[in-house]
Amino acid sequence: MGKQYEIGAILQRDTYPTLRQTIARAMSWGPMGSLGVQRRNRPNETIWALRDVSFEISSGEAVGVIGGNGAGKSTLLKILSRITDPSEGYAEIHGRVGSLLEVGTGFHAELTGRENIYLNGAVLGMRRVEVERKFDEIVAFAELERFIDTSVKHYSSGMFMRLAFAVAAHLDTEVVLVDEVLAVGDAVFQKKCLGKMGDVAKKGRTVLFVSHSMGAIKKLCSRAMLFRNGNLVIDDDPGVAVERYLSAGVTDERTIVWDAPDAPRTQEMILRAIRIVDKDGRVSSTLSTSEPIVVELEYDLLVPARGMRIHIKLLTHDGIDIFSSSDLLAWVDSDSRPPGHYLSKCVIPGHLLNIGTYILSVGADIPRYKELLEEREYLRFVISELRDNPMGFASPGPKGIVNPMLDWSVHRIV
């Protein structure tokens, strides 16, 4: 199965172009472009969003779909939900399909929440009596009892999300397709949704779950498929697929220094180097749980940027987020950061991380405005030494991701 899209499609000449269309074309194409000469003579470009994808999913399986942006995950779900047709091959599904691909897919803004529940049920092939049987449960899950008879165009994005997810998860379809849409809700609602997805999978319904949360994939799914550039790279145990996904493009070196042509760059900035060093600034061969770890980020800022930040995220080897941090508060000047060569340092204190393997992700943005450098995983490092055992006796080491030095006290009462 495959799906091909046309990009840079030829725009046809309007018989009677409006003044606004003429001005827009003149500004974007130039004088000749406004007549359609250059654009019509260029061949259309095409891209395969999916290519040569083949798999089978048995009834009752919960399958995760993972991959980077543009890997083809959402295109796959749109084909399976019949929103778009494949360019080659076919998709065969047995049973009714309930899908939650985008917030409010299949909802009508002018209808109330109550009416949209029945409408969505009808679209999914449910009889009215089936929807009525689930109605109270859907409304209770969405926590929208007071607003169920209000037009959904007045809902906030969070309210819209709650209702959309509740309908998709509670109606009795044999197949459930869920794209990465849970980020709209708050943390409590996300946890509630993941719990519901776990219940759905346990009841024998077939679930195809797209997510960037590797922890959710490993918890909910019995199998995971990794996509890359439109191709199915691996179809295996979730742990194997997640490890393969996270290790792609990640180096085990403690430092990366890019030559100018190869450096990650945008119009606003160029990432020059990432280093993980010890407290003395040395790239050490071993890292200890008790010693600080310093992350150095070297970059060029090409334009003035007010409120910009370069940020890191630390993950476990299997993709669980540990923490994220940025240098935003370290730049105390209220004015924009001027163009220049910068070095940002972040100190991870000793007695925080446990023995284990960690992945470092780096990105840059202006919060709530613009992404300056796409966040991605770059480095993997290992903390291999436990030096906080003052008694010297044999110990298997503490459990968990973190290993904090907590303040204990002991008093003999009698």
Burial 57-69 (b: 16+ CB within 10 A, else e): beeebbbbbbbbe
All residues at 6 or more sequence positions from 322 whose CB lies less than 8 Å from its CB, including other chains:
314, 315, 316, 353, 358, 401, 402
Q: What is the CA radius of gyration of the chain?
A: 26
CA dihedral sign of residues 84, 85, 86, 92: positive
CA distance 130 to 28: 53
In three state form, how does the secondary structure of the chain look? CEEEEEECCCCCCCCCCCHHHHHHHHHHHCCCHHHCHHHHHCCCEEEEEECCCCCCCCCCCEEEEECCCCCCHHHHHHHHCCCCCCCECCCCCCCCEEEECCCCCCCCCCCEHHHHHHHHHHHCCCCHHHHHHHHHHHHHHHCCHHHCCCEHHHCCHHHHHHHHHHHHHHCCCCEEEECCCHHHCCHHHHHHHHHHHHHHHHCCCEEEEECCCHHHHHHHCCEEEEEECCEEEEEECHHHHHHHHHHCCCECCCEEECCHHHCCECCCEEEEEEEEECCCCCCCCCCECCCCEEEEEEEEECCCECCCEEEEEEEECCCCEEEEEECHHHCCCCCCECCEEEEEEEEECCCCECCEEEEEEEEEEECCCEEEEEEEEEEEEEECECCCCCCCCCCCCCCCCECCCCCCCCCCCC
CATH 3.40.50.300 region(s) of the chain?
58-247
Class of CATH domain 58-247: alpha beta
All residues at 6 or more sequence positions from 371 whose CB lies less than 8 Å from its CB, including other chains:
363, 364, 365
All residues at 6 or more sequence positions from 370 whose CB lies less than 8 Å from its CB, including other chains:
none
Q: Mean pLDDT for each 10-residue chunk of the chain (414 residues)?
A: 75 52 55 44 74 90 86 88 88 82 72 89 81 90 90 84 80 80 62 76 82 80 90 90 79 82 91 90 82 93 92 87 90 83 93 89 91 90 71 57 85 88
Assess contact for 386 and 393: CB atoms under 8 A: no
Q: What is the side-by-side order of every strand in the sheet holding 206-210?
A: 97-100, 175-178, 206-210, 62-66, 223-228, 231-236
300 strand-pairing partners: 270, 341
Query: What pLDDT score does 115 carry?
Result: 92
164, burial (CB in 10 Å: exposed 0-12, middle 13-18, buried 19+): buried
Query: What pLDDT score does 37 carry?
Result: 42
As given in the structure block, the two tokens for residue 28 are 């974007």
CATH 2.70.50.60 region(s) of the chain?
255-383
Query: What pLDDT score does 22 carry?
Result: 60
Class of CATH domain 255-383: mainly beta
